Structure 1
Amino acid sequence: MERLHDKKSVIIIGAGVGGCASAARLAKAGFKVTVVEKNDFTGGRCSLIHDGEHRFDQGPSLLLLPDLFHETFADLDTTMPAEGVHLLKCDPNYQIFFHDNEKMTLSSDLAHMKPEIEKWEGKDGFERYLGFLAEGHRHYEFSMQKALRRNFPSIMSMLRPDLLKDIVRMFVFTSLYTRASAYFWTDRLRRCFTFGSMYMGMSPYTSPALYSLLQYTELVEGIWYPRGGFHKVVEAIVNIGQRWGVDYQLNSPVQSILLSEDEKQAVGVVLQSGRHLRADIILANADLIYTYNNLLPETAYSKKLAKRPASCSSISFYWSMNRKITELSAHNIFMAEDYKESFDDIFEKLRMPDEPSFYVNVPSRIDPTAAPEGRDSVVVLIPVGHLHDEGSKKGLRSSEDWVELLDRARDFVIKTIERRTGAENLRGAIAAEQVNTPTTWQEHFNLDKGGILGLSIDFWNALAFRPKTKHASISNLYFVGASTHPGTGVPVCLAGAKITTEQILDDLKVEKPWSKATPPNLRAKQRGSSLDIERIESISGMETWQRVLWALVLGSLITFILSKVFG
């Protein structure tokens, strides 16, 4: 058995975003870090596909929650521009095309949004839009301060009066679509401001209203794109880690996590090549369900975990075009006529809708380096159900006739784009095509059921209810990634890397080398004038009856949570 190093060592399984960020953080803290990755590239789903000079983002194609990116680089003593990551602002955010051939454009520019909203909602519609943003701001701040930067190792960590009060106020038991309906009178705008739930692989009819924070960050902070592709972020983090000595071993799939004789301690990994590697800490960035069910001994918990609700999958086309498709902007949404029914098909029937909503990304519209001059690179993402559970009578199967399904999906997408945008002979403009299906996601990235965003993230799969960042009974074994706390998505996985690495450092009583780092964009300006002195004046105090009401609500919520956990 091979001992990696004399000083404290860590093996990280998987070079996804969370794994790479954890590697850089732990290396900075003084650990000897080795990352073993099954593929010949880093980034996992956040990687690139090439066809000659055409470049495609295999997964994420827009950068949201920028503060979490800035924070990661600041903690590593650098900035994104210093590491060659230059962000381009996408404006407009989206073009949204409807079945009735109407179109709406979303932007972070209020001067643009005011007439767009009033066109459909009337003069008072813009005020309601601002109210929707205000609610999204509260959800955003709650998530950033009390969810994405904190660990929840047990249910008791949730039972704090301040947190429970905020949970009640955040509409976690109300759907995103329901809350949007409180602000927008037309179904058209309700659709425009709820489709973003698909970023978490969820239906807007079941996604908690708290996740309006995604619409908020798009509309207030904007949508961004790293020049050179989203993988530029991962590449920069990998480079930073390597400067601190991180060893990346690609083409090194893991067969199992090596345990002590009593199976109470993780001591290393066994690669599929037969090679044994030993380390003090094992951090799994592989898909969590895959890790528990394939890399560890089977337990009742691993079986139970596999039955938790998963996110959707996708059929993704990557098209090398022989000309520019000028009718498309960088980000385009084509809404299904039967909006709710399309989500029911995906999440209840686990299939591809007959008429799905779909997303079209043209990276070459914002970054000309994504395609040869005079041409476009186009990515089409069609959300579909994940692969069926064992014994299930519904859903897509690995044995599906993918040729027939892809033909149907391709035909629908081409006809819909042509009809709604006026683009002509789109099929003839496709010079080459590459495809990912649910089976591709499962086989290439070990994603359980081909779910592209890991476990679903409703209230009962969040905070203390989400799988923990540390194994309950095996010491020295930790987790980071989409299916563990705090959740899915690139910025959230970056936040998760900080949470898990700080847990490791706390357990080993090692000082955090970034505890005092503050991103430049988050530093408050020094107050040198009397004009800048904060004066907090209460608009209205909380009346006694309001305090009593809050006490009753919090008491009821605590009782409800305890009954779900222990009842």
Structure 2
Amino acid sequence: MAAANGHGKGKPSVLIVGAGVGGTASAARLAQSGFDVTVLEKNDFAGGRCSLFTDPTKSFRFDQGPSLFLIPRLFDETFSDLGTSLENEGIKLVKCEPNYRIVFPDKEVVEMSSDLTRMKKQVERWEGEKGFEGFLGFLKEGHAHYELSMVHVLHRNFTSLLSMVRPSLIIQLRKLHPFVSVYSRATKYFKTDRMRRAFTFASMYLGMSPFDALGAYNLLQYTEHCEGILYPLGGFGRIPQTLQKLAEKSGAKFRFNSPVKRVTVENGTAKGVELESGEKLKAEIVLVNADLVWSMAHLYEETSYSKRLEERPVSCSSISFYWSMNRKIPQLDSHTIFLAEEYRESFDSIFREHRIPHEPSFYVNVPSRHDPSAAPADKDAVIVLVPVGHISAALPSSSDWDKVVEDTRNKIIGEIERRLDIKDLRGCIEHETINTPITWGEKFNLHRGSILGLSHDFFNVLSFRPKTRHPSVKNAYFVGASAHPGTGVPIVLAGARLVATQILNDLGMPIPSRWNVSSSELATHKTIRDAAGGFTLLSVLFGLIALLVMYLRG
């Protein structure tokens, strides 16, 4: 069995399975912190779903997954912790203005913007003279959710159920509206159905219905309107590519086309991995960035816990079209949202029945609108993401997907043409690439083809979400969408900070001073008694009762 470390004695070795955003960020952090790091990736590129590809002519570039750069604070934090910045690494961000255009079935358009003057006109058009007050109230609540989440969720680890009994969290939890939906919060501030839809569809970023997503997630609309939607020139995949380079600069090694067969465990402790090729590598720490639910079922021995994980609700999947167009499509902006007439029914079809909706809501991204390098000067690169149910008995078998894709394509093209008065959009498509729930699952080992991992209902967040440390195997950790704190590129970056801090803390190694990790953050990696100076049984019981009361009261 080959040893992973080779940079000299005394360096603890870590094997990272997967070179997604979480894997590359963790590799850079741990390499800078004195670890001998080896990253193993099944594909021939870094980034996972957050990656780039080109069409056969190599003239058109597409973001395979994420295309909305949100919560810039967490990106800045990551690069600052690594002693640099996005700007220093040559990543230039451009602002997409307007944020996006929402096109309704009756062809009415609402433009969402970070320009308050524009938003005032948009909101008052539908909500009347007092409508702007409601909008500002919605943003104020979103701001509170944003700041509270930063302090109590994104910069705190939850190592056990009792981690939720921290007094500071219990006091603030109700302010996060964890037991009501994003849509129900919107109804408090907006009186028209059109505005309620416009300010709630973004829960799709989490792969959830606005009728199920926790009220706190209106922080997404807050960050869009108050910080804007940004885009890194050259494509979103430049973020993990740059993190890879930073990791390599600190000595980390990346091995692509190296799928892992299993994590080797001896006496309850992770000792390394075995590759599909049969090669075995040793390490003191194993950090898995592959899909957590898939990993528990395939990389570790099956347990009752891994079986329960497979039964947990997961986010949606998608049928995604990537089109190389033979001309520009000026009617499409950087980001255009097409909402279904049957708004709730469409979401119920996806998230409750796990089907392909009869009338889908969908998102169209034209990266070439804000980044000329994405397509030739007189043409456009167009990405269409159609949320659909994850792989289940309700979805067609693989043999039926050609027809499903064709039917979906016809619906999407028909709606784009009808709502924007475009003729022969299909005739403008030079080349098409497609991802379906099947291909998402195959390319990235995604459980049920879910593109955003486990769901984010209350019993799938905080202490209820899979931990960053393996529940029963020592020296085994996780980072990524299905681990705490959750899905989305900035959130996974926060998770990389948490797990790197946890590994260092577990090994008694110093936390780099520039990470500015507070003593309270460090405390959350220890036991509840260590963290709080000694919980009594009575205080724990009180905390659990408080959580139950909040849940029942909604």
What TM bracket, shorter-length normalisation? over 0.9
1:200 paired to 2:206: yes
Does residue 30 (structure 1) correspond to residue 34 (structure 2)? The answer is: yes
How far residue 49 of structure 1 moved from its aligned partner, in angstroms, is 1.8
The residue that corresponds to 2:539 in the other structure is none
Listed as ranges, the matches of 1:543-562 within 5 Å are 556-560=545-549
| Equivalent residue, structure 1, for 2:411 | 412
Tell me which amino acid in the other structure corresponds to 1:508.
L
Identify the residue that residue 298 of structure 1 maps to in structure 2: 302
Partner of 1:166: 172
Counterpart AA for 2:436: T
Deviation at 1:353, TM superposition (A): 0.7
Aligned-pair CA distance for 1:162: 2.2
Structure 1 contact 386–395 (Cα < 8 Å) conserved: no
Give the corresponding residue for 2:2. Answer: 2
Give the superposition deviation at 1:168: 1.1
Residue type of the partner of 2:246?
Answer: I
Partner in structure 2 of residue 436 of structure 1: 435
Q: Is 2:383 the counterpart of 1:379?
A: yes
- State the shift of 1:398 in Å: 4.3
Q: Match for 2:205: what amino acid?
A: Y
Other-structure match for 2:503: 504
Task: Specify the SS of the correspondent of 1:198.
Answer: helix
Compute the displacement of 1:154 (Å): 1.2
- Please give the residue correspondences for 1:133-144 in structure 2 after superposition, counting only pairs within 5 Å: 133-144=139-150
Cα drift, residue 195 of structure 1: 0.4
- 8 Å contact from structure 1 (residues 288, 479) kept in 2: yes
CA distance in 2, matches of 1:513, 1:159: 28
Alignment of 1:144-543 (within 5 A): 144-260=150-266, 262=267, 264-388=268-392, 394-515=393-514
Distance in 1 (CA, whole Å) between partners of 2:404 and 2:147 is 42
Which letter maps to 1:107? S
Tell me by how many angstroms 1:516 deviates.
Answer: 5.0
1:317 aligns to what SS in structure 2? strand
Q: Deviations over 1:312-355 (max 9, x none)?
A: 00000000000000001000000000000000110111111111
| TM-score, reference length from structure 2 | 0.93
The CA deviation at 1:158 is: 1.1
Distance 1:227 1:37 in 2: 25
Residues 411 and 226 (structure 1), Cα distance of their counterparts in 2 relative to 1, 3 Å cut? same
Work out the CA distance in 2 between the residues paired with 1:245 and 1:291.
26
Cα distance, 1:458 vs structure 2: 1.1
The amino acid across from 2:60 in the alignment is H
- Which runs of 5 or more residues in structure 2 are unaligned? 518-541
Question: 1:109-151 CA deviation, whole Å, 9 max, x = no partner?
Answer: 0010001000000000001100000000000001111100110
1:562 Cα deviation from its structure 2 partner: 11
Q: Superposition RMSD on alpha carbons, in Å?
A: 1.6
SS across alignment from 1:136:
helix
* Cα offsets for 1:473-521 (capped at 9, x unmatched): 2110000000010000000000000000000000011111144559xxx
Q: Provide the secondary structure at the position in 2 that maps to 1:82.
A: coil
Deviation, 1:160, is 2.2
Q: Show the counterpart of 1:544.
A: none
What residue ranges of structure 1 are gaps of 5+ in the alignment? 389-393, 519-552
C-alpha spacing 1:509/1:561, structure 2 compared with 1 (3 Å) = farther
Q: What is the aligned length?
A: 523
Q: Is the 8 A contact 1:165 1:554 kept in 2?
A: no
Counterparts in 2 of 1:26 and 1:177: CA distance versus 1, 3 Å:
same
- The verdict on how the C-alpha distance between 1:283 and 1:397 changes in structure 2, with shifts beyond 3 A counting, is farther
- Are the counterparts in 1 of residues 165 and 543 from structure 2 also a CA contact under 8 Å? no
Over residues 240-279 of structure 1, what are the superposed CA-to-partner deviations in whole Å (9 max), with x where a residue is unaligned? 111001100000000000111x3x0000000000000000
Return closer, same or farther for 1:510/1:371 CA change in 2, 3 Å cut-off: same
Name the % identity.
Answer: 55
> Helix, strand or coil for the counterpart of 1:257?
strand
Q: Match of 2:154, SS?
A: coil
Shift, 1:557, TM fit: 2.4
Task: Choose from 16, 21, 24 the match for 2:25.
Answer: 21
Describe the shift of the 1:451–1:106 C-alpha distance in structure 2 as closer, same or farther (beyond 3 A): same
Query: AA paired with 1:228?
Result: G
